[in-house]
Structure 1
Amino acid sequence: MNYINSLKKLVIGDNSVEKIAEILPISTEPFECKPNECINGYKESCFSLRGDAATVPLYESAKPCDLHFLVSTGKTDWEHDAFEENNNNILNKFSENVENFSNKLKISTKCNVTNEPLNISDPQCITLQKLDVLLLPWFVWIHGITEKNINDIFKGITNVITKSKENIELKGTEASLLIDELKSIEGLKVIKDLNSTYIMLCSHRTRDKKCGITAPIMKKEFDSQLRDLELYRDSGDDREGGVKVSFINHVGGHKFAANVLIYNKHGEFVWFARCTPLNVKFIINETVLHHKVYPANIRACSTFDPIKW
């Protein structure tokens, strides 16, 4: 279907700039900087693409979602299906619960694994019998999901969605609502994420070698520039207002690598593609800090209520 839509755009024209401008402000800055403006060394031809991967219009080749579940695994690469059934963990069960939850509430969801670290002091966390999950765009962590409490957790999330729909004043306070909903579940810890932005890069080498190559290079440049701005955060840094760059598994459209997914607590989701390290300066300065976008490289974008608590 995406190929057919792209073909139509090539034949009858593409009005994606107008569509995107109705969602987010368009930046007038160039998307690509000069190689000498990068902190690390790159050529202008880095990550060059060929054929339709370089020419097909990108907008609406992917879709934003209402809720994005990100499961910590401590890894940067995974099996071809990162959630495939495994008797030693509950990844598959969690993925099934997300799908059932999505179908029941008729909302769109994504479920990915990330390289976020595991609690090495808990054997159940190491074997993924107990999961830590970041829920975006609510910016809230759910620590300690097990096979026993997973149903109660999704009931709590459902209650939060119902409350925020019924009372518009609660929009953006979902993290606080979820903490209250789940506080009685023994062994569970639900906390607000203090970062202002999450940037996610597909590093799923087993699924596509290109992603396995491009993601670490992109992260190196993101981290370097964020350090200069005092916005870099690693897993041991819980200072408020930082920008976290994480690896995730396959998101689709690997031929458009590098794919860069961004959640701003300010209220924007942006999915860029065909990115190189020469685009990092724009993404940080224009999209992360000033909430503006470059339409030619957008696969999907949306807004949500700014996070408040």
Structure 2
Amino acid sequence: MVGIKALFGLKKDGIDPKATEDIAKVVEICDGASSCGSDCEEEMAELAKGDKVYEGLKIDHEEPLYNSSKPPKVHFVVPTSQMDWEHDACLEDTSSVQYHIYDWCQKHNDEFSGVGNGQKLSCAVSSLPKDIMDVEVMRGTKNNVLVLPHFIWINGLESGKVDQTLNELVPKLLSPELAIDKLVEEYSMLSRAIERSFVLVCSHTRRDKRCGIMAPYLKKAFDQHLQKQGLYRDNSDFRPNGVNVAFVNHVGGHKFAANVQIFLKDPCILIWLGRVKPTNVPFIVDGILVPEKPKLQWPEKVRCVQKYASW
């Protein structure tokens, strides 16, 4: 089998001891032992085909990854059923839900700078499915919105009600006294996400082709390995406690492709990885997504980590 160091390119990608120490405060760093099953060599040989594509891309392996991105306080994810968007994805349509959420976040980031965990309010569009049977959704003026790291949905949010809704909801989401169950009971438009984790893979080709090229390889690798673990869920599978892998627009740092954001419901952690290759995926699944207590094999791939409050 290919060695762990060869798989993850440790000769090129480095990290200083202080960064490793900071990361270890949030997620356990393990010794690099693989939990890959008996068919590991066959799986890795198939995934290595995607690695060859990765090696042909111009990726920055010199700049340290840690702290090259900012963890969100609240991250709004808007379904579009797409995997690519215009350059400024949230700003394509000024009447859309994502436009109004993005605008609200930009105006209120400073207001919430001193509360909650994380550094900013953010909005993304995603490949998560939208309701194509709803005319307003198809026009972009209404949508369901996933709220991370809180793992709740704002259902049927209308563009004209974004400001009013977020003015009321976000202070409660960032309150140290937040109880998600009570919040969901209080607002009929809210519901809990049933997934145990969301994996968001940047696929924004029109912004930069590197993530766009690698995203399909990564999603296929995640889906196949999650199936082996009984955690794969497609859009018609509503069993709880699975893993949903979706494409998202520009997250920043395309030179660190591929970018993968992992939101874990329990223990309420974000692990944001860069320079991810297809052969990394089984180790991400087996080490981070399967165990109750995630373990990280390669701190040199971490762009940021964030521990959130338990709700």
Identify the TM-score tier after normalising by the shorter chain. Answer: 0.7 to 0.9
**Is the contact between residue 147 and residue 153 of structure 2 (CA under 8 Å) also seen in structure 1?**
yes
**Is the contact between residue 39 and residue 221 of structure 1 (CA under 8 Å) also seen in structure 2?**
no
The correspondence of residues 133-212 of structure 1 with structure 2, limited to 5 A, is: 133-161=145-173, 164-165=175-176, 167=177, 170=178, 173-174=179-180, 176-183=181-188, 189-212=189-212
- Alpha-carbon distance, 1:271 to partner: 0.6
The answer to whether structure 1 residue 54 and structure 2 residue 61 are counterparts is yes
1:101 matched residue in structure 2: 108
Per mean C-alpha deviation after superposition, the further-off stretch among 141-150 and 273-282 is 141-150
The correspondence of residues 105-116 of structure 1 with structure 2, limited to 5 A, is: 105-106=112-113, 108-116=120-128
- Alpha-carbon distance, 1:181 to partner: 3.9
**Is the contact between residue 46 and residue 276 of structure 1 (CA under 8 Å) also seen in structure 2?**
no
Relative to structure 1, the CA distance from residue 221 to residue 88 in structure 2 (aligned partners, 3 Å threshold; closer, same or farther) is same
Q: How many residues align?
A: 285
Which residue, out of 38, 45, 48, partners 2:44? 38
In structure 1, C-alpha distance between the alignment counterparts of 2:104 and 2:308, rounded to whole Å:
24
Relative to structure 1, the CA distance from residue 19 to residue 89 in structure 2 (aligned partners, 3 Å threshold; closer, same or farther) is closer
In structure 2, C-alpha distance between the alignment counterparts of 1:288 and 1:275, rounded to whole Å:
15
**Is the contact between residue 131 and residue 144 of structure 1 (CA under 8 Å) also seen in structure 2?**
yes
Structure 2 gaps of 5+ residues are: 1-12
TM-score (norm 1): 0.84
Structure 1 gaps of 5+ residues are: 1-9, 184-188
**Is the contact between residue 258 and residue 275 of structure 2 (CA under 8 Å) also seen in structure 1?**
yes
- Alpha-carbon distance, 1:235 to partner: 1.5
Relative to structure 1, the CA distance from residue 52 to residue 82 in structure 2 (aligned partners, 3 Å threshold; closer, same or farther) is closer
In structure 1, C-alpha distance between the alignment counterparts of 2:261 and 2:97, rounded to whole Å:
26
- Alpha-carbon distance, 1:93 to partner: 1.9
The correspondence of residues 84-95 of structure 1 with structure 2, limited to 5 A, is: 84=91, 86-95=93-102
1:225 matched residue in structure 2: 225
In structure 2, C-alpha distance between the alignment counterparts of 1:259 and 1:31, rounded to whole Å:
22
The CA deviation string for residues 166-222 of structure 1, in whole angstroms up to 9 with x for no partner, is: x3xx4xx33x24323433xxxxx3211010010010000000111111001100010
Which residue identity lines up with residue 286 of structure 2 in the other structure? N
TM-score (norm 2): 0.84
The CA deviation string for residues 136-189 of structure 1, in whole angstroms up to 9 with x for no partner, is: 011001121113322331133134236x42x3xx4xx33x24323433xxxxx3
Relative to structure 1, the CA distance from residue 121 to residue 25 in structure 2 (aligned partners, 3 Å threshold; closer, same or farther) is same
- Alpha-carbon distance, 1:87 to partner: 4.6
The CA deviation string for residues 17-75 of structure 1, in whole angstroms up to 9 with x for no partner, is: 11211221102125898763338442454412777701221111112121111011111
Identity value in percent: 33
Relative to structure 1, the CA distance from residue 298 to residue 41 in structure 2 (aligned partners, 3 Å threshold; closer, same or farther) is closer
2:260 matched residue in structure 1: 260
In structure 2, C-alpha distance between the alignment counterparts of 1:306 and 1:37, rounded to whole Å:
36
1:300 matched residue in structure 2: 304
In structure 2, C-alpha distance between the alignment counterparts of 1:137 and 1:240, rounded to whole Å:
17
1:15 matched residue in structure 2: 18
**Is the contact between residue 32 and residue 279 of structure 1 (CA under 8 Å) also seen in structure 2?**
no
In structure 2, C-alpha distance between the alignment counterparts of 1:49 and 1:256, rounded to whole Å:
14
Which residue, out of 140, 143, 146, partners 1:128? 140
In structure 2, C-alpha distance between the alignment counterparts of 1:16 and 1:52, rounded to whole Å:
21
The answer to whether structure 1 residue 78 and structure 2 residue 85 are counterparts is yes
- Alpha-carbon distance, 1:230 to partner: 1.1
Relative to structure 1, the CA distance from residue 90 to residue 195 in structure 2 (aligned partners, 3 Å threshold; closer, same or farther) is closer
Relative to structure 1, the CA distance from residue 229 to residue 85 in structure 2 (aligned partners, 3 Å threshold; closer, same or farther) is closer
